[in-house]
Amino acid sequence: MKSHLVMIGNGMAGARCIEEIIKRNPDLYDITMIGNEPYPNYNRIALSNVLQGKTTFNEININDWDWYEANQIRLISNEHVTQIRREEQQVITDKGTTVSYDKLIIATGSSAFILPVPGHDLEGVVGFRTIDDTQAMMDAARQYKKAVVIGGGLLGLEAARGLLDRGMEVHVVHLLADLMEVQLDHAAAALLKRDLEKQGMKFLMEKKTTEIYGDGRVQGIRFEDGTSVECDLVVMAVGIRPNAAIARDSGLEVNRAICVNDVLQTSDPAIYAVGECAEHRGIAYGLVAPLYEQAIVLADYLTGNPTPGYQGSILSTQLKVAGCDLFSGGEIHPCENTKAIVVQDECLGTYKKVLVRDNKVVGVVLYGDASDGTRLFNMLKKQSDISEFTNASVLHKAGEESGLDVAAMSADETVCGCNGVTKGTIVGAILEHGLTTFNEVKTITKAGGSCGKCRGMVEAILAHTLGDKFDASAEVSGMCGCTSLSRDEVVAAIKEKGLHTPKEVRNVLGFKHEEGCSKCRPALNYYLRMIRPDEYEDDKASRFVNERMEGNIQKDGTFSIIPRMYGGTTSPDDLIRIGEVAKKYNVPLVKITGASRVGLYGVKKEDVPKIWADLEMRSGYAYSKSLRNVKSCVGSRFCRFGTQDSLGLGIRLEQEIEMVDTPHKMKMGVSGCPRNCAEVLTKDFGVVCVENGYQLYIGGNGGTEVRQCDSLTTVTTEDEVLFMAKAYVQMYRETGIYGERTAAWVERIGVDTVRRALADQEQVASLAARFEHARDTYAEAWGEALIDDQRKQLYTIEKR
């Protein structure tokens, strides 16, 4: 007969513990859960997203009603446990329900602390803890216009942002001089306050509330200094109070919360406590990550699995407010034996502080750019020796070694801090279960299932693991999971609203994730550069590691390096140099590629920039979303069947089209005769040389889904080929969806649409001119030496 396991509580920590127990041994217990809310288990962290209009109540359910039934869990909802009879091993609810237990888990969580000032019980005074609290705030925002949030901590600022988004005038009242003083130092808190004020939030700092006044409903609050402020809604966000009364009344050991040992056992061996209601080694935690860590330990213990026990947690914090990117973890303020590495950029509004003791990171405070947060926090938790790390870097090139490179992450590094999910767990789940979307990874591993801040990193791991098989748009109707807007709507808004940066686009257009995701970050970088070639500076940090490193990452984490060889041609000097470099760096494989170039494979990451420097050759863009190569046969230069100089034309095409970003990679081909040795009929743009000129083809693909080209037109000169190619590429640049190959693009907009556009000479001239203008901006970015280098190589090839 099964033992009966009863849980008082249906919140995040308790439900996670039950999930883990079922995962380990689904047949061990008969399980009853008792919750005092009329809802299934939901994500309280995401309530601020509901208030801010980013999601709905239904979308924040962690386990729906069917989950309880599927796992044979008896759920008693909307009932409050009023008594634990320890001798009889029974619990009694406020509705008279009696449930017997063999083992009991108390997971009652905590409640919003309501200041006991006169008027705290007026209508319009609420906490911010539950679905009902959130609904009350949303209802008030529809009827009233002035709100006061008491408390300038994490929860208070998220509540204030949500009320602002719902059209209310919001004052934040804070007792101290700095916002989020537990998580931020003075400098970071000042930047946060400045940015929130720009968003319209008003602050009343160093104010102590003495009274909430009103006739039936709140009308305002008064402070100790004699000042006051009018309002129709007061949100209390001054802290939480563990719900430990039921344990105290039953005689369990209770301090601030229910005292537990390392296996979460209370003073009664049959009763356990987990989550915000539990106190471990004198600490009661209020963040989700340690609560989930406790849940896993307790699940191991209750199912007989080995466990070292719960050892306490190092905390980290992120804020879910658009336009305010922050991260903090560990110690915040330096002490006598601690040194600080501080970098502040007033131009960009960024602040970074790392506290170090004995060559180990002990604290992190980041504001304005929190992309290094996970990496630094992993170093903190692992107590990594930082002796070999550079302490600070000033004015390095954009995108160089910034943020977290998922390819370089070790398998044991934490990706999702809330749920304690490592990179190795995510990669293993992707490969074992054939996962292809973020939501699938979240379901299997829990990564991204709480605050959602790690979504971009999870998708980056998906993209890295799956390569071209990863499609971030597979589960969304909009451009990406951050927005319901389509590509065309986003591009139109950028033009109409005069948006100039990705951050501005995401904030103004209301993207769900202010930091973006692995789909929209590179897409917005592309669209902005395409729309504003003279103004927008490429953000390399938004590009994938392949593009940042100028090499394709391989399955073992090494890179391939492929220098440019126009038309597959090279020189003896270049060949010798390639050989010398390959020997110098012990390159495991030197291979002629499918694009008729020499590739160096198995290059260590740290050797990539050194090899490029030693080669003194241009990149072949084998990793880029741009023209990769132009495949050509030798044509009339040597072949007895060649009708035109296909090699020379291929080289000209490659040099005229290269560098410029496109929605996806492009491949071109030029065959010297209809025998088609260069296989041009499966290229994005193909040219077949004939006696009277050049036949042009578009929209081919030789990948997993082969698509034969459509005929475009026939022209008579090489210059016309180049002219049409530029117009075609520019049309693709301006109307293609980022990540869409020309084969899919042609089918989506219709081949006749492309033919009509490129039959109009005025439109062709305009498109070609815009392409050449864009290319000039790329050439300027690379430097004039690039143009001279091209001319020299072309001259050498033609001379030969």
Q: For residue 44, what is the domain's CATH number?
A: 3.50.50.60
The Cα 447–Cα 437 span in angstroms is 12
Phi, psi of 669 (to 5 degrees): -155, 150
Do 492 and 602 share a structural domain? no
In this structure, the answer to whether residues 38 and 136 fall within a common structural domain is: no
Range of the domain at 497: 487-543
Residue 460 included in any domain: no
Q: Which domain CATH number covers 689? A: 3.30.413.10
Specify the higher pLDDT residue, 97 or 482: 97
pLDDT of residue 545: 67
Task: Give yes or no: residues 157 and 89 share one domain.
Answer: no
Indicate the helix (H) or strand (E) that contains 278: strand 278-280
- Indicate if the pLDDT at residue 4 is higher than 90: yes
H or E element in which residue 781 lies: helix 761-782
229 lies in the same domain as 85: no
Q: In what order do the strands lie in the sheet with 598-603?
A: 552-553, 559-561, 598-603, 589-592
Look over the chain and give the mean of its residue pLDDT values, rounded to a whole number: 88
Give the pairing of strands 360-367 and 589-592. unpaired
H or E element in which residue 651 lies: helix 646-657
Q: Angle 438-445/423-433 helices, nearest 10 degrees?
A: 110
* pLDDT at 540 exceeding the cut of 70: yes
Position 496 in a domain: yes
Is the pLDDT score of 621 beyond 70? yes
Count of all residues that appear for the chain in the document: 800
DSSP state of 645: -
If asked whether residues 497 and 558 sit together in one domain, one would say: no
- The two three-digit tokens of residue 692, written as one number: 């009277």
Residues 203, 209, 211, 216, Cα dihedral to 10°: 50
Residue among 350, 287, 327, 323 nearest 165 (CA)? 323
Q: Are the C-beta atoms of 597 and 629 separated by less than 8 Å?
A: yes
Clarify whether residues 635 and 748 are in a common domain.
yes
Based on the fold, state whether residues 700 and 779 are members of the same structural domain: yes
Domain endpoint, select from 280, 302, 324: 302
Taking residues 550-573, report their average pLDDT.
Answer: 82
Q: How confident is the model at residue 127 (pLDDT cuts 50, 70, 90)?
A: very high
Eight-class DSSP state of 725 = H
Residues facing residue 100 across a β-bridge? 90
Q: What are phi and psi of 610, to 5 degrees?
A: -65, -40
Residues 272 and 229 in one domain: no
**DSSP code, position 295:** H
Q: How far apart are CA 361 and CA 365, in angstroms?
A: 11
Residue at a domain's end among 615, 640, 658: 615
Q: Which two tokens stand for residue 188?
A: 């970071």
What DSSP designation does 76 have? E
In a domain, 385, yes or no: no
Q: Using 50, 70 and 90 to split pLDDT, how confident is the model at 285?
A: very high
User: Which of 282 and 417 is assigned the larger pLDDT?
Assistant: 282
Which stretches does DSSP call E strand in 722-766? none
Q: Buried (b) or exposed (e) across 378-413, using 16+ Cβ within 10 A?
A: bbbbeeeebeeeeeeeeeeeeeeebbbbbbebeeeb
Backbone angles phi, psi at 550, to 5 degrees: 55, 45
Dump pLDDT digits (tens) for 397-423: 444 444 456 777 788 888 887 788 888
Task: Say whether both 769 and 633 belong to one domain.
Answer: yes
Measured from the Cβ of residue 707, the count of other Cβ atoms closer than 10 Å reads: 18
Q: How far apart are CA 370 and CA 724, in angstroms?
A: 45
Residues 81 and 95 in one domain: yes
AA identity, residue 751: V
Radius of gyration, CA atoms only, the chain: 31
416 is a domain residue:
no
Residue 780 CA to residue 517 CA, distance in Å, equals: 29
Q: Is 60 exceeded by the pLDDT of residue 196?
A: yes
What pLDDT score was predicted for residue 800?
40
What is the percent of the chain where pLDDT is above 90? 54
pLDDT tens, residue by residue, 223-253: 999 999 999 999 999 999 999 999 999 999 9
Strands 559-561 and 598-603: antiparallel
Show the tokens assigned to 380: 């903190």
Residue 778 lies in a domain: yes
Q: Is the pLDDT of residue 687 over 80?
A: yes
Quick check: is 74 in a domain? Answer: yes
Using DSSP's 3-state secondary structure scheme, residue 670 falls into strand
557 and 537 belong to one structural domain: no
Domain's final residue, options 250, 285, 302 = 302
Q: Answer whether residue 522 is part of any domain.
A: yes
Tokens of residue 669, six digits: 């081909």
168/267 same-domain check: no
In the chain, the largest separation of any two C-alpha atoms, in whole Å, equals 100
Q: How many CB atoms lie within 10 A of CB 219?
A: 17
Q: Count of CB atoms within 10 A of residue 757's CB?
A: 16
Which pLDDT band, with edges at 50, 70 and 90, does 39 fall under? very high
Assess if residue 334 is contained within a domain.
no
In the chain, the number of structural domains is 5
Helices (H) and strands (E) in the chain, counts: 24, 36
Are the CB atoms for 105 and 5 separated by under 8 Å?
yes
